[in-house]
Structure formats: structure tokens, C-alpha cells
Amino acid sequence: MIIGQDQIEKYKKRYTELEQQLSNASLDPQTRQPLQKEYSYISNLINKIDQIQNLEKEIIKAQDQKSKEKDPELLMLYDQEINSLNSLKTQSEKELEDFLFPADPLDNRSVFLEIRAGTGGQEAALFAGDLARMYTNYALKKNWKAAVVTSSTTDLGGFREIILHIEGKGVFGHLKHESGVHRVQRVPRTETAGRIHTSTATVAVLPEAEEVELSVNPADLRIDVYRSGGAGGQHVNTTDSAVRITHIPTGVVVTCQDERSQHKNKAKALKVLQSRLLQSQKEKSEAEMSQKRKELVGTGERAEKVRTYNFPQNRITDHQVEMTLNKLDHVIEGDLDDIIDALIQKEKQERKQHGKFK
């Protein structure tokens, strides 16, 4: 088992202490709530440990009975029973591992995915468009919803900036490792001599904030409305439907002009603002944790290149897991499973290495 007997005894002792504390009827709600949460966690943990220990006893019992048996048919039945018990034990140990080294509580959130052209001018903007299409296709394959919140296009059809809202279960858990600098190597459309250029785009993945966890004081906001620019038709260009919201304490600015309705643009912009502020809080908390263990987890230092897209050789390399695949043509169309699964597995290993029992 991945947990020692000494640690199990500590959990059982704490469980008894919590049971006694919670039996006190005079306990005020503010004190009771965190104790109840801890009690529930330890109760589930102990149940899972008991389940594993019972399975281990059943396996030993079945192996002992098998050793005394000579009938071939019964031996085969014992083998099937032992294999079944071992499968249940493996699954239970995985669930116990998730209890001991819990995943990021934000993993199930929807996200705002922001892509911005980096170095490389028009080519960087075109690459930003390729990334937007890649993530949109990946979202569709996962049965998530993907919609453009706001965008700023270039003459050649690329994006200086585009923000996607990707909605579904587990979106942040799958896409959070995409944050950082993405580098592309290819011959740009604007290159006449056929030379390969290197350009970049940055990706930021923000978990969608819930209103109950992050309230924004209206007095801290400056809201400006203005006439939308760019494509969208006569109505969009001749009414003050675009919205710009500035969060005065932090200086964070969000704009939205994709909807014809000013109210819809304002609602979208407020959601993006909340998510950026939530991400800022998350990064601050992670930075404090990383100071203690001298390792950054998902903060600014991830802005070094996370992935390289080499079109001439049809090669894609993820530098976070040192994985290279020779199928860039498939990946750029949304076939990201191999890379994202490897990133998720790496995070699980890091949780085990750096995590502590609750």
C-alpha cells in the first residue's frame, strides 16, 4: 500500500478527535464547517484504506485455498477470482492515491483561452490563428463548447489576439499546461525566397471564475463603451456596442466587441475579467508555495517555450515532457491527446513527489 501503518493510525486518531469535536452541539457554524470538511475527507480515506486491506485479505485467502487444490477446473476458478480481486485492489489504490495527492480543485472548470501573436509580425498572427483552430477542434472532439469572446485580426487573416471560451467538464485540467510560449518554424506566406522563419505566439489558460468565490466591487471598475471596429456588418460598426472594462486596483483591462448587444459584451467582458483576477490570485498563491519548495508550479517561468511546431519536418516537440511526434499535420488539426495525456501523467507524478498527505 502507498501509505504506511503509522500514517493510517494517525488518520484514525484524528478521525476520533473530529468525531468528538463535532458531537459538541454548541460548536458555532464557522468553526464546524472546516472540521466537517476534514471529517468527511478522513472518513472517505479510511473507508478506502479498509477496502484495500479487506481485498488484500481476500487475495491471501484465495491464494491459500488455491495452494491446497488439485482439481484443474477449480484451480482455473481460483485464478479468475484472484485476478478479479487484484484488479479491484489496483483500482482502489488509484482512488486512494487521488485522495492522498488531490488534483487541482480548479481542474473541472471551463476556461478562457487567450492567444496572442508574439515575435514574427504577420506570421506570428497567422500562427495564432492556427493555434485557435487547433484548440477549437480539440474542444469539439472532447464534446466541449468553444466560442470566440473577442478577437483582433490582421490584414492577412491572422490574429493579434483572440480569446476563446471553452466550456465543459475537466477543460482546465486538460488545457492548463498549454500556457506559455509556442514556437513555430516554417516558411511564411510573405517569404519570397523560401527561407524558414521562427515566430512565436503566447497562450494563457484561465479557469473560469465562479461569482460566489470572486466578487468584484463595481466601484473598482471603469466601464467605457465605444463603436466596434473591423468586420461585423453595418450595425456593429455604427453603434456603441463595444465594451472596455478596467479593474482600477490592478490595472487589468478587458475588451469585448463580438456581440451586437452592449449588455452581452459587458457580461462576457466581466467573465473574462473575473477569470484573469482569479488566475492572478492562483499564481500568487502558487508562487508563495514554490518559494518554500524552491520550484515554480505553473507560474511565470513557464513562459519559456513550451512547444515547438516544425512544419518542414512535420515535427512537434513538447518541451515540458520532452515528447517529439512526427505528426504535426494531425496535431495542428486538434489531435492533441498524446501530448495532453503525457502532461497530465507528468503532473500526477509531480503531485506524488512534491505533495504531502493532507
Contacts of 289 (CB under 8 A, 6+ apart): 297
Mean pLDDT of 116-140: 95
**Please, are residues 173 and 202 in contact by the beta-carbon 8 Å criterion?**
no
Query: Is pLDDT above 90 for 3?
Result: no
pTM for the full predicted model: 0.64
pLDDT by residue (tens digit) across 37-76? 899 989 999 999 999 999 999 999 999 999 999 999 999 9
Confidence at residue 215, expressed as pLDDT on a 0 to 100 scale? 65
Higher pLDDT, 299 or 314: 314
Higher pLDDT, 211 or 327: 327
Mean pLDDT of the chain: 86
Instruction: Measure the CA–CA gap between 15 and 58, rounded to whole angstroms.
Output: 26
pLDDT by residue (tens digit) across 202-242? 999 988 876 545 567 888 889 888 876 654 444 444 567 88
Mean pLDDT of 65-94: 93
Lowest mean pLDDT: which of 107-111, 132-136, 334-338?
107-111
Confidence at residue 214, expressed as pLDDT on a 0 to 100 scale? 58
Contacts of 236 (CB under 8 A, 6+ apart): 228, 257, 260
**Please, are residues 268 and 245 in contact by the beta-carbon 8 Å criterion?**
no
pLDDT by residue (tens digit) across 243-263? 898 988 888 898 888 777 888
Query: Is pLDDT above 80 for 14?
Result: yes
Higher pLDDT, 267 or 300: 267
Residues of the chain with pLDDT > 90: what percent? 54
How confident is residue 310, by pLDDT bands cut at 50, 70 and 90?
very high
Residue 327: CB atoms within 10 A of its CB come to 13
Confidence at residue 160, expressed as pLDDT on a 0 to 100 scale? 94
Confidence at residue 286, expressed as pLDDT on a 0 to 100 scale? 60
Confidence at residue 10, expressed as pLDDT on a 0 to 100 scale? 92
**Please, are residues 196 and 185 in contact by the beta-carbon 8 Å criterion?**
yes
DSSP 3-state helix, strand, coil percentages of the chain (rounded to 5)?
50, 20, 30
Instruction: Measure the CA–CA gap between 105 and 331, rounded to whole angstroms.
Output: 28
Q: In this structure, what C-alpha cell is assigned to residue 213?
A: 468565490
Residues of the chain with pLDDT > 70: what percent? 88
Confidence at residue 287, expressed as pLDDT on a 0 to 100 scale? 65
- Give phi and psi for 116, each to the nearest 5: -130, 140
Query: Is pLDDT above 80 for 267?
Result: yes
